Amino acid sequence: MMKCLTLIVAASVKRDLADRLRTIEAVEGFTILSCEGHRSETQHDAFLSV
């Protein structure tokens, strides 16, 4: 059975996360996707916020 787990991590730790996931026997495969977010310093943009 496939399960989906969403993790939000900093780009700087993606490689370490992938290495750790590969060492877990119960994890048969995974996909890491990049996404863009907003930091607290980002100016408010009404088109990007709800």
Q: Which pTM was predicted? A: 0.61
Three-class HEC string of 2-29:
CCCCCCCCCHHHHHHHHHHHHCCCCCCC
Angle CA 38–4–32, to nearest 5 = 55
13-49 pLDDT, tens digit each: 999 999 999 999 999 999 988 877 666 655 555 555 4
Residue 17 tokens, joined: 């996360």
